[in-house]
Amino acid sequence: MPISLNVNGAVRQVDADPDTPLLWVVREDLGLTGTKYGCGIAQCGACTVHLDGAPLRSCSAPVSAAAGRKLTTIEGLSSRAAKAVQKAWVELDVVQCGYCQSGQIMQATALLERNARPSDRDIDQAMAGNICRCATYHRIRAAIHAASKQLSA
């Protein structure tokens, strides 16, 4: 079934069953492979995208949920908060294997767009659903604080 999606600011047409997990459509039909499959059961956060600016685990939503709404993937992040997050991630050398990091960056960006000065508790609560097997958590936390400082400057 043809579905029209607004993806990273551009209108894209896909032909998919409306119940197809959004993650599969993003990766296969749209070719946007920055968003990762980690578990398929909303336990790891690697599949995080933004829908109308709110974080969404794309493995756990049908593509029909994105119809008529603004979908943003890691490839399309462009907000002031997103740029601060990306800069901090690079400066603090957060990434090890990188697999979880698209989801981490999407989630951290969503947090800072809602709360530009998060406490450690705020970071705990917002990032709890994003798992990192390389255990870069301390660097993720430091980078969120660094991005927050930049946003407040």
Partner 1 sequence: MMRAAYRSATVRALGSVLSLFVAGAAAAQPVTLQAPGTFDALQDRQERSRALFVEAGKVLQSPRCLNCHPKGDRPTQGADMHPHEPWVVRGADGHGASGLQCTTCHQAANFGPSNVPGHPTWHLAPASMAWQQQSLGQICVQLKDRRRNGGKTLAQIQEHMAHDALVGWGWSPGGDRAPAPGTQEQLGALVQAWIDSGAACPAP
Q: Among 1, 9, 18, 28, which residue sits at the site for partner 1 (rule: CB under 8 A)?
A: 28
Q: Helix 101-114 and helix 137-152: axis angle, to 10°?
A: 40
Piece of 4-12, 22-30, 91-99, 145-153 that binds partner 1 (CB under 8 A): 22-30
Is residue 14 near partner 1 by the rule CB under 8 A? no
- β-partners of residue 5 are 12
Is-contact 99 36, C-beta < 8 A? Answer: yes
Contact flags string 119-138 toward partner 1, x per CB under 8 A: ---x-xxxxxx-x-------
CA atoms of 66 and 69, how far apart (whole Å): 5
Is residue 116 near partner 1 by the rule CB under 8 A? no
Is residue 34 near partner 1 by the rule CB under 8 A? no
Q: Which residues within the stretch 82-101 sit at the binding site for partner 1 (CB under 8 A)?
A: none
Sign of the four-CA dihedral 71, 72, 78, 80: positive
CA atoms of 133 and 122, how far apart (whole Å): 21
**54 in helix, strand or coil?**
strand
Is residue 4 near partner 1 by the rule CB under 8 A? no
Is residue 56 near partner 1 by the rule CB under 8 A? yes
Is residue 1 near partner 1 by the rule CB under 8 A? no
| Residue ranges binding partner 1 (CB under 8 A) | 19-21, 23-24, 27-28, 37, 39-43, 45, 48, 54-57, 59-62, 65, 107, 110-111, 114-115, 122, 124-129, 131
